[in-house]
Structure 1
Amino acid sequence: MATAVETLGKLERRITISFPLTEVRAEVEKRLKVQAKTAKAPGFRPGKVPLKMVAAQYGYQIETEVLNDKVGRAFNDAANENQLRVAGFPNIEPKAESPAGVLTFDATFEIYPEVEIGDLTKVEIETVKAEVTDAEIDKTIDILRKQRVHFHTKGEAGEHGDGGEAVAANGDRVTVDFVGSIDGVEFPGGKAEGYAFVLGEGRMLPEFEAATVGLKVGESKTFPLAFPEDYHGKDVAGKTASFTITLQKLEWAHLPEVDAEFAKSLGVADGDVAKMREDIKVNLEREVAGRVKARNKETVMETLVKTATLDVPKSLIAQDTERLAEMARQDMAQRGMNVKDVPFPAELFAEKAERRVRLGLILSQLVGENNLQAQPEQVKAQIEDFAQSYEDPREVLKYYYSDRRRLAEVEALVLEENVVNYVLGLSKTSSKVIAFDELMGSNAQA
């Protein structure tokens, strides 16, 4: 039996559940008899163990199962009868005072909130777009050339030249010996032999690189180096060291020419440079389209969060906080980090969890009211779009359609896109062109 629903707060409710102790005892005895048919004990044949021994061994477990079943069933019946949409799981506690022969429990829980989206026709949303020009293609080709760089001894003649005067300059790869000291005492990590790096890439502190520029092989230089206050090496952070470096090897970078051989190295079989540029353009446009879509989606989602009014169930936030913490733990473990004893305070994830839950409730409301669910043909089209950049598109389709969880991920993407298109179709939209570099440097995530 369940009492009427009590309202404890905006979303918090309570139901009191009670039933006769005799019902519990009868069900426990019934299950014990079933357990006795297969129970084993030393000195007894299977199924011949005395009921008292079966009760001693399994009684607590069976009694707990019976209570969980009866309370859970009574709670679900009461929630359905009162047409309650329960958010999360109820907190069920036995009542300290109950009538004789009666077991009583309080089930405290939250319900899903009413979601008010607001008038989307009055919302102003600015979307972005970007173009792929010859300049972006040239930049990409430069990056690809640098990825295929090879080095030659500077100052020595070769098939590609000598690289100019044998003096260290930005872009050269230098190999140095160095030793550092603070107040005349060497410190851990301040000494190395045969250490190689490329000048101008920022791998070393600016003072270190500046001191290396201009050296010839065999030359040394001593210079002061001030470590930043936030330097990762805490023992030297904020201190000034004296370094002596000796240049042992000097190499200049030779970048491959943009020719047929270069095009072939990028997969263009006939070495057609124009076709290579077109392929690069197509790939860049696909990347730009994806980033534009992600950034505009994030703008729409943020607009929905600001526009909608709702109370967010604390139980759902707590569940998502735990989920995010576990995802972070797994991610760190996969990176080889020992996180067994590392604490993951809930407050680190609470804000993100609250937004995720809030947005999820808003999307659920919009989708349900406006029939924005992902349709099979939309899902297939999305997967086919993914498959375009793979050699065998059929394998991509098989990859998604063979696993329900993977398919669900695509369905979620399509659903979000339906919401974005729906909102943009209602709202007052404007568009601005942003620089390619700005777009590619952003990390828009919905």
Structure 2
Amino acid sequence: MQVSVEAGEGLERRMRIDLPFEEVSAEVEQRLQKLARQAKLPGFRPGKVPMKVLRQRYNEQLHQEVFADMVQKSLFEALNQQSLQPAGMPHIEPDLDISAGRVAYTAVFEVMPEIALAPVADKVIKRPVSELADSDLDDMMQRLRKQHQTWEPVERAAQLGDQLSIDFVGTVDGEAFEGGTLNDFKLELGSGRLIPGFEEGLIGATVGETRVLDLTFPDPYQAEHLAGKPVRFEVTLESITEPCLPEIDAEFVKNFGVEDGDVERFKADVRRNMERELKERLTARTKERVMDMLHEANPVELPKALIQSEMRTMAEQMRQALGGGQMQLPPEMFESGAKRRVALGLILGQVIRDNDIKADPARVLETVERMAASYEHPQQVVDYYYGDAERLSSIQGLVMEEQVVDLMLEQAQVEDEPMTFAQLTE
């Protein structure tokens, strides 16, 4: 077997492999002999077909079969011989000429890039730090009250925060347009659901009043044929309701599963959940900052094959997240995110190899137990992961990423950045 490699554009390589014709011929002959013992053709008894007839009929087919088998066998041997690591499945260009005694092919593929990691000693990582304040708990309780608010009718002029029931007709150049006419439309003033000026124009209106609003559609706008155009809305106010927030009492907390109505215990539970969320957000934000630093410090030439594969994966993940079905999302819309994922995957892999990082068994177990804690039967979840090496490897991968983050925080310059709970969770 003769192997030669030619560098193409970027990471592309063209590896030509010339196979020994004698080996191919010998294997074809062996298969012909085997075929001769069982071949059935019209006019001949089984196993009595002359070799000349078999050669005429099966010679080309058998050469193709033997060639395909030898390609499969020789390809990875040649890659190892040349110390090449393909980034995707090679494309095979056959060069088979039996009459000339030539059995060869060219494998076209991209190689994995070589990465020399940049030093990080002079890099700055802004690490978010935060503590849960009493005011954060108060804000959360207020948010929970708002989630359970009711609307009560009022006899006064409309003001911000009210919910209005309105009928309106919109016209552009004196003509009604699709979607511009609605009845009994519920609108919370200050929500920003409608175009600029619409909600503001209803402040101070009373039930039964009709107001004419001369406005302009934003540019750009989702309906392109309306973008930037002047529009007139005639709006009739049918009713006004104001929000009524429930008191934080025994009845209120029972809505959240606190059967005995203990308000203080409920607040303590909410605080613990917020502290857990705060810790998770801080960890995730810190990891994001470290990844940003590594990505920026290490420009990597990316194999197109890996990007294409990641784009397809992200499109499928989004399709599943949206409920599956027949909807197909174009992979191209995920190109930017796919490039970042591929680059970080390659960079993290190099960090792990350079520093001989292995997943800490204690951290792996801690991670699995933390994930299992939210289930009714935690031990079953732990057994689920530890009962299958592939499932456990996904957790080990996450742990190694955490260990990379720890290593970067040790090697780089770290500046703490105070953040509030609201900033971290918005």
- TM bracket, shorter-chain basis: 0.7 to 0.9
Paired residues in the alignment total: 425
Report the Cα offset of residue 416 of structure 1: 0.4
Kindly provide the CA deviation profile for residues 145-169 of structure 1, in whole angstroms up to 9, marking residues without a partner as x. Answer: 1111112222xxxxxxxxxx43322
Quick check: 1:312 aligned with 2:301?
A: yes
Q: 1:249 matched to which residue of 2?
A: 239
Would you say the 8 A contact 1:152–1:252 is kept in 2? yes
Q: 1:48 to 1:131 in 2, by over 3 A?
A: farther
Q: Which piece of structure 1 moves more, 413-422 or 9-18?
A: 9-18
Distance 1:48 1:199 in 2: 93
Would you say the 8 A contact 2:158–2:205 is kept in 1? yes
Would you say the 8 A contact 2:96–2:103 is kept in 1? no
Would you say the 8 A contact 1:87–1:313 is kept in 2? no
Report the Cα offset of residue 22 of structure 1: 5.3
Match of 1:359 among 324, 344, 357: 344
Report the Cα offset of residue 172 of structure 1: 2.1
Report the Cα offset of residue 421 of structure 1: 0.6
SS at match of 1:118: coil
Distance 1:63 1:203 in 2: 69
Q: 1:46 to 1:135 in 2, by over 3 A?
A: farther
Distance 1:376 1:47 in 2: 63
SS at match of 1:87: coil
Match of 2:290 among 295, 300, 304: 300
Quick check: 1:291 aligned with 2:281?
A: yes
Would you say the 8 A contact 2:359–2:400 is kept in 1? yes
Report the Cα offset of residue 400 of structure 1: 4.0
Q: 2:251 matched to which residue of 1?
A: 261
Q: 1:187 matched to which residue of 2?
A: 177
Kindly provide the CA deviation profile for residues 125-163 of structure 1, in whole angstroms up to 9, marking residues without a partner as x. Answer: 221112211111111111111111112222xxxxxxxxx
Report the Cα offset of residue 232 of structure 1: 1.5
Q: Which piece of structure 1 moves more, 46-55 or 253-262?
A: 46-55
Q: 1:229 matched to which residue of 2?
A: 219
For 1:359, give the aligned amino acid. L
Would you say the 8 A contact 1:121–1:427 is kept in 2? yes
Q: 1:307 to 1:142 in 2, by over 3 A?
A: same
Distance 1:358 1:203 in 2: 39
Kindly provide the CA deviation profile for residues 208-254 of structure 1, in whole angstroms up to 9, marking residues without a partner as x. Answer: 22233323322222221221112212232211222112222222221
SS at match of 2:225: coil
Report the Cα offset of residue 439 of structure 1: 1.8
Quick check: 1:331 aligned with 2:314?
A: no
* Two-structure CA RMSD over aligned residues (Å): 3.8
SS at match of 1:246: strand
Q: 2:368 matched to which residue of 1?
A: 383
Q: 1:71 to 1:169 in 2, by over 3 A?
A: same
Match of 2:419 among 425, 434, 443: 434
For 1:312, give the aligned amino acid. E
Report the Cα offset of residue 313 of structure 1: 4.9
SS at match of 1:270: coil
Q: Give the TM-score normalised by structure 1.
A: 0.81
Kindly provide the CA deviation profile for residues 266-285 of structure 1, in whole angstroms up to 9, marking residues without a partner as x. Answer: 22333222222222222112
Q: 1:106 to 1:168 in 2, by over 3 A?
A: same
Kindly provide the CA deviation profile for residues 375-409 of structure 1, in whole angstroms up to 9, marking residues without a partner as x. Answer: 33322211212233444433543554466554333
Report the Cα offset of residue 433 of structure 1: 0.8
Report the Cα offset of residue 361 of structure 1: 2.2
Q: 1:412 matched to which residue of 2?
A: 397
Match of 1:370 among 355, 359, 363: 355
Distance 1:177 1:46 in 2: 88
Distance 2:222 2:359 in 1: 48
Report the Cα offset of residue 418 of structure 1: 0.8
Report the Cα offset of residue 350 of structure 1: 4.4
Residues 151-170 of structure 1: pairs in structure 2 closer than 5 A: 151-154=151-154, 165-170=155-160
Report the Cα offset of residue 352 of structure 1: 3.7
Q: 2:272 matched to which residue of 1?
A: 282
Q: 1:17 to 1:221 in 2, by over 3 A?
A: same
For 1:302, give the aligned amino acid. D
Q: 1:3 to 1:338 in 2, by over 3 A?
A: closer
Q: 1:80 matched to which residue of 2?
A: 80
Would you say the 8 A contact 1:218–1:248 is kept in 2? yes
Would you say the 8 A contact 1:312–1:357 is kept in 2? no
Would you say the 8 A contact 1:2–1:75 is kept in 2? no
Distance 1:60 1:83 in 2: 34
Distance 1:409 1:269 in 2: 38
For 2:308, give the aligned amino acid. T
Q: Which structure 1 segments of 5+ residues have no match?
A: 155-164, 442-446
SS at match of 1:3: strand
Would you say the 8 A contact 1:176–1:194 is kept in 2? yes
Q: Which piece of structure 1 moves more, 329-338 or 406-415?
A: 329-338
Quick check: 1:208 aligned with 2:195?
A: no
Q: 1:343 to 1:147 in 2, by over 3 A?
A: closer
Q: Which structure 2 segments of 5+ residues have no match?
A: none
Q: 1:94 matched to which residue of 2?
A: 94
Distance 1:253 1:363 in 2: 51
Would you say the 8 A contact 1:151–1:253 is kept in 2? yes
SS at match of 2:131: coil
Would you say the 8 A contact 1:20–1:101 is kept in 2? no
Report the Cα offset of residue 180 of structure 1: 1.4
Distance 2:228 2:343 in 1: 44
Report the Cα offset of residue 417 of structure 1: 0.1
Would you say the 8 A contact 1:329–1:339 is kept in 2? no
For 1:304, give the aligned amino acid. L
Q: 1:219 matched to which residue of 2?
A: 209
Distance 2:195 2:47 in 1: 78
Would you say the 8 A contact 1:2–1:74 is kept in 2? no
Q: 2:145 matched to which residue of 1?
A: 145
Q: 1:127 matched to which residue of 2?
A: 127
SS at match of 1:208: coil
Distance 2:325 2:229 in 1: 30
Q: Give the TM-score normalised by structure 2.
A: 0.84
Q: 1:272 matched to which residue of 2?
A: 262
